[in-house]
Amino acid sequence: MRTTTLKSVLPVLLPAKAKSGSLFSFRLKLWHGIILLCICLLTSTAGFAQSDPIKASVFEILLRWMPLLLTAFIFNIAISMLAMGIGTAAGTVLGLGQISPNAGLRKFCWFITQFFRNSPWLVLLFFAMFLLPFEFSIGGIDIPLPDWLKATIGLSLPVMANMSEIVRGAVNSLPSGQWEAAESLAYSRRQTLWLVILPQCVKRMLPPWMNLYSILTMATVLASVVGVSEVMTTTGRALASEGGRPDLLAPFYSFVLLIFFIYCYPIARWTVYLEKKFAVKG
């Protein structure tokens, strides 16, 4: 006991802990995946023992549906990447607006950011689904807006708001001396931002940005609620077409959880690695 307290006799002298990961506290661990794998295997083989020999085994059914489920999952990834792209671009603009010298623009961007950041993702998704038209026309050409694209736009709204905060936070975390040094060398505001401030922000923004992407990927299943044929919708249909057998529920849904884990875990690991790497150099 005594030795453990001695280790931190002078906590004030410890370097400040990096805060980049504090935006989202949830983090995937390897044991999450191992548990999922165990549930998936146990439930599918345990089901085999119980089931009627005439019916196909649970494991066989799962194997049969796997290609379709994986294809649907690829659709989830596509939605997540597109939503991330839109959200990152719009969020960067919004974040830069939040640090604009123009007070009106700054307040407007702050309001938009806070509005979308503090709205439930599902509500924003419904908002986009039912308020966006199913097609729009530019110069006489009708461009259809399918459901999955509407859902993507809906999901990109909270991403945009969170990205805006990541940008604002990163810019504000730089010492004011960087601005002053650039100003005293006759850099314009735009030059200061693009040549001095933002290049230093990129590595500060990368870990929270990747974290945000992980969260978004897991949130793409919300699109099932509005009928987009992604992995959750497909799983539901597969289960229905198998006659709604209750012994299929656990293996199928734990399989879906497992593929999300396999996709998101490396991102989480990489984020941790980057956070550590950047925390040392500062």
Partner 1 sequence: MTWTINEPMVSIRDVYKSFGAFEVLKGISLDVMKGEVICIIGPSGSGKSTLIRCINALNDIQKGSILVEGQEVNDPKLDKLELRKKVGMVFQQYNLFPHKTALQNIMMAPVRVLKQDKAEVEKIARELIRKVRLEGKEDAYPGELSGGQQQRVAIARSLAMNPDVILFDEVTAALDPETVGEVLQTIKLLAEEGMTCILVTHEMAFAREVADHIYFTDRGVIVEHGPPETFFSEAKDPRTKEFLSQIL
Position among 5, 8, 184, 241 found at the interface with partner 1 (CB under 8 A): 184
CA nearest 222: which of 132, 159, 280?
A: 159
- Does position 100 bind partner 1 by CB under 8 A? no
127 vs 278, which CB is nearer to partner 1?
A: 278
Position among 195, 270, 273, 276 found at the interface with partner 1 (CB under 8 A): 195
Position among 67, 140, 144, 175 found at the interface with partner 1 (CB under 8 A): 175
3 vs 184, which CB is nearer to partner 1?
A: 184
Separation of alpha carbons 68 and 171, rounded Å: 44
201 vs 228, which CB is nearer to partner 1?
A: 201
The least distance separating partner 1 from the CB of residue 100, rounded to whole angstroms, comes to: 18
- Does position 8 bind partner 1 by CB under 8 A? no
- Does position 191 bind partner 1 by CB under 8 A? yes
The least distance separating partner 1 from the CB of residue 176, rounded to whole angstroms, comes to: 9
- Does position 178 bind partner 1 by CB under 8 A? yes
The least distance separating partner 1 from the CB of residue 115, rounded to whole angstroms, comes to: 32
The least distance separating partner 1 from the CB of residue 184, rounded to whole angstroms, comes to: 4
77 vs 174, which CB is nearer to partner 1?
A: 174
Choices 71-79, 145-153, 182-190, 204-212 (CB under 8 A): range interacting with partner 1: 182-190
The answer to whether 108 touches 95, Cβ cutoff 8 Å, is no
Q: For residue 15, give every residue at least 6 positions away whose Cβ sits within 8 Å of its Cβ, in sequence order, or none.
A: none
The least distance separating partner 1 from the CB of residue 282, rounded to whole angstroms, comes to: 8
130 vs 194, which CB is nearer to partner 1?
A: 194
DSSP 71-119: HHHHHHHHHHHHHHHHHHHHHHHHHHHHT-S-HHHHHHHHHHHHHHHTS
The one-letter code for the residue type at 147 is: D
Position among 30, 34, 123, 185 found at the interface with partner 1 (CB under 8 A): 185
Separation of alpha carbons 119 and 94, rounded Å: 17
34 vs 195, which CB is nearer to partner 1?
A: 195
Phi, psi of 245 (to 5 degrees): -65, 125
54 vs 103, which CB is nearer to partner 1?
A: 103
Separation of alpha carbons 252 and 250, rounded Å: 6
Q: Is the dihedral of CA 256, 259, 265, 267 positive or negative?
A: negative
Q: Do you know the residue count of the chain?
A: 282
3-state SS assignment for residue 249? helix
The tokens for 103 are 């007070």
Helix (H), strand (E) at residue 202: helix 198-219
- Does position 281 bind partner 1 by CB under 8 A? yes
Residue bearing tokens 């191992």: 34
Chain residues in the site for partner 1 (CB under 8 A): 175, 177-178, 180-188, 191, 195-196, 199-200, 281-282
